[in-house]
Amino acid sequence: MSQESILANRVGGTVAVIIGLGAISEAVRLYPLSPSPLAGDHTMIGFTGLGLLVIGLFFILSSQTPRFKVDYPSGKLRYLILAVVGALFMYRYLIPVLGYLISTFITLFILLKIMGQFHWLHSLLGGAIFTFVVYLIFVLWLGYSFPAGIIGI
C-alpha cells in the first residue's frame, strides 16, 4: 500500500476517534437526564461514539485497508474547482443581501463563464434566461418564497 494511502487512512482514523470521543462525552452529559441506564437520549449516541472510537483506532493502528492511489487535480483544474465551490458559498451569502433573483443571475453568469468558458455575453444571456425561467416556474407558478434582499426583488 502507498504511504499516501496509509496516511489518509490515519487522518480518517484520527477524525473518527475525535468524533467518537465527542459523542461519548455528549452521552455522558445526557446520562443523568435519562430515565434509565439503557433507555434514553444518551444510549444511541454512546454506542455510536464507542463504535467510531473502535473503528478510528483500527484505521490508525492497521494497514490492512484496500490499496489505491489518490490523485488530486492540479494547476488550472484545481483553481476551477475551488472557484466553483467559492462561487457557491458566495451565492449563499449574497442571497440575503441582494435577494434571490439578482444573486442567481450573478452566480449563474460566473458559473457559465468559468465552467462552460462561454463568451461573457453568452454567459450573461444564459444567466438572465435561467433566472427568468426560475422566476416563472418557482416564484410565479409554484409559489416558492425566496429572500428579497435589500433591493426588495
Partner 1 sequence: MESLDFLLAGFAQAVTPVNLLMVALGALIGTLVGVLPGLGPTSAIAILLPLTGVLPPTQAIIMLAGIYYGAMYGGSTTSILLNIPGEVSSVPTCLDGYPLAQQGRGGPALGVAAIGSFVAGSLSVVGLVFFAPVLAEQALKFGPPEYLALMVMSLTMVVNLAGNSIIKALFMGLLGFLLSMVGLGPSTGVPRLDFGSSTLWGGLELISIIIGLFAITEVIKGIEEKRVAISPRQIGNVYPSSADLRQSSKAMLRGGVLGFFMGLLPGCSPAVTTFLAYDLEKKIAKNPERFGRGAIEGVAAPEAANNSTSSAGFIPLLTLGIPASPPLAILLGGLMIYGLTPGPILFQQNPDFVWTVIASMFIGNLMLLVLNLPLVGLWANVTRIPYGIMGPVILMLSVIGAYSVRNSLFDVSVAIVFGVLGYFFHKHHWPVVPLVLCFILGPLFEQSLIQSMAMSGGNPLILLERPISAAILILSLALLALSIKLKRRTKKRVIQEVGEAVDIAKCTG
Which residues form the interface with partner 1 (CB under 8 A)?
Answer: 8, 12, 16, 19, 23, 26, 30, 33-41, 43-45, 48-49, 51-52, 55-56, 58-59, 65-66, 68, 70, 72-73, 77, 80-81, 84-85, 88-89, 91-92, 95-96, 104, 107-108, 111-112, 115-118, 126, 130, 134, 138, 142-147
Alpha-carbon gap, residue 153 to 138, rounded angstroms: 14
The residue among 92 and 136 lying less far from partner 1, judged by its C-beta, is 92
The residue among 65 and 124 lying less far from partner 1, judged by its C-beta, is 65
Closest approach, Cβ 73 to partner 1, in A, equals 5
The residue among 55 and 124 lying less far from partner 1, judged by its C-beta, is 55
Closest approach, Cβ 136 to partner 1, in A, equals 13
With cell 428579497, the residue in question is 148
Closest approach, Cβ 132 to partner 1, in A, equals 13
**126: its cell numbers:** 444564459
3-state DSSP assignment of residue 21? helix
Instruction: Spell out the residues 6+ positions from residue 58 whose beta carbon is closer than 8 angstroms to its own.
Output: 13
Residue spans of beta strands (DSSP E) within the chain:
none
With cell 444567466, the residue in question is 127
Closest approach, Cβ 92 to partner 1, in A, equals 5
What is the separation, in whole angstroms, between the first and last Cα of the chain?
56
**67: its cell numbers:** 490499496
